[in-house]
Amino acid sequence: MNFFQRKAKKNLINFIKDDIVDIYVIPNKRNRLYKRKDGRLISHRALMKVIRGLMKEKSRHRICPLCYEEEVPNNNATDGLCVNCYNANKYEENLPDPDLSLMEDNFMYAKGDFHIHSTNSDGKYDVKSLIDRYIDKEFDIIAITDHDTMEGCKEAIEYGKTKGFKVVPGIEISTKYNGEDIHILGYFKEEDCRRDEMIEFAKVKQQDRIDRCKKIVSSLKKYFNIEISADELLEKTEGMIGRPHMARAIISAGYATTMEEVFTKYLDDNSPAFIPSSFLTPQEGIDLLRRNNATVVLAHPILIKNTKIEDLLNTFKFDGIEAIYGLNSEADTKAFISICKERDLLITAGSDFHDYNTSNHCNIGDISLGIDSIDKLLKTL
């Protein structure tokens, strides 16, 4: 690149920096929208046209703004490009992208899911496969929120980067309050995806689950004369061991035929073989997240039955509510959103995806959060 070519490139970059205040990235690059200072949105294609026009005016030496190598002919027949680039870029599909890495801070994301489980807890798919599946559904940002662990977050962030896809590190912490589960979502800055205290927390929870599995297996023997091997179970299980794994082992050992039967007969909360997990209180969960710089969001408020949401919000300090969730009716969602507005809380949305077509969680693409709410959430990180 010679002096004039460098200068041409610099003009191009300055133009984009000065005029474009936000970028709405839709995964299909041809759908990228740019917000200009005057508030208008322009498409990628239109922007390229503006840039070409500008280059035509500014570059006295008429160097092609795409290749920075060839001269632009004087006859105006090539749309401000050199002959080679004009021919190569005649068709819309071939338009080149401007260098967006220069503006990463201004990125706006258009479609997000902020509640997803991977194989690091009880989800079916590993983080890479999840990201590929979300890209297919035209998402451009997700949060991985496994139960009580952030194990997959770093890998997810790194893999996402290779695909131009944003991953927010997250976690879903189970707490107990007023006789029921209160789940709390934490969202972290990228650089906080491997905090010591969070890693230690995951280790303790993992050990709890192992101990509990062993206890349940021995009480299944004691109360129901069911023999399954805890060691085998632990060895076979990827991610977090829980009652569904034990239930499947009971079925394959021939003591029952359906999951429902296993739970009603042997494993539900009222069974003598059941051992409750140890839980944090919501305050302990919130404190843990806050100590580690996280944004704290109340997960699926629709599932909370024993406490009024308003009372919960008065008692504990959340930054936001998962107001958009698959089990909500339309009226529920409206009510949660108006609570958020009244109390100046973030609105988030989550599919709680574990696997396709499960009864109480959504599929990929069923639930998404839009540009403005994503932007507000990201600004807290």
Where do contacts with Zn ion occur on this chain (CB under 5 A)?
Answer: 122, 172, 183, 299, 352
Locate 180 and state its tokens. Answer: 């029921």
Decide if 15 contacts 42 (C-beta within 8 A): no
Please say which residue, 113 or 172, places its beta carbon nearer to Zn ion. 172
Place of tokens 């000065």: 18
Which amino acid, residue 155?
Answer: E
For residues 5 and 174, which CB has a smaller minimum distance to Zn ion in the complex? 174
Choice between 115 and 166, CB closer to Zn ion: 115
Q: In what order do the strands lie in the sheet with 112-113?
A: 112-113, 141-144, 166-177, 180-187, 295-298, 320-325, 346-350
Tokens representing 258 are 């359906």
DSSP structure string for 232-249: HHHHH--S---HHHHHHH
In the complex, residue closest to Zn ion by CB: 183
CB 358, min distance to Zn ion, A? 9
C-beta of 255: minimal distance to Zn ion in Å? 24
For 350, list phi and psi in degrees, rounded to 5. Answer: -145, 140
CB of 23 to Zn ion, least distance (A): 30
Tracing tokens 């899911």 back to the chain, one arrives at 113
Left (φ > 0), alpha (ψ -120 to 50) or beta: where does 79 sit?
left
User: 320 in helix, strand or coil?
Assistant: strand
Q: How far apart are CA 233 and CA 287, in angstroms?
A: 34
Q: Which is nearer to Zn ion, 140 or 148 (CB)?
A: 148
Q: How far is the CB of 163 from Zn ion (least distance, A)?
A: 24
Structure tokens at 6: 């460098």
Shortest Cβ distance from residue 353 to Zn ion (Å)?
9
Nearer to Zn ion, 84 or 363 (CB): 363
In the bound state with Zn ion, the residue whose beta carbon lies nearer, of 49 and 176, is 176
Tally the residues of the chain: 381
Smallest separation (angstroms) from Zn ion to the CB of 183: 4
Closer CB to Zn ion, 32 or 243, in the complex: 243
Q: Nearest approach, Cβ of 14 to Zn ion (angstroms)?
A: 45
Q: Which of 170, 115, 165 is closest to 347 using CA atoms?
A: 115
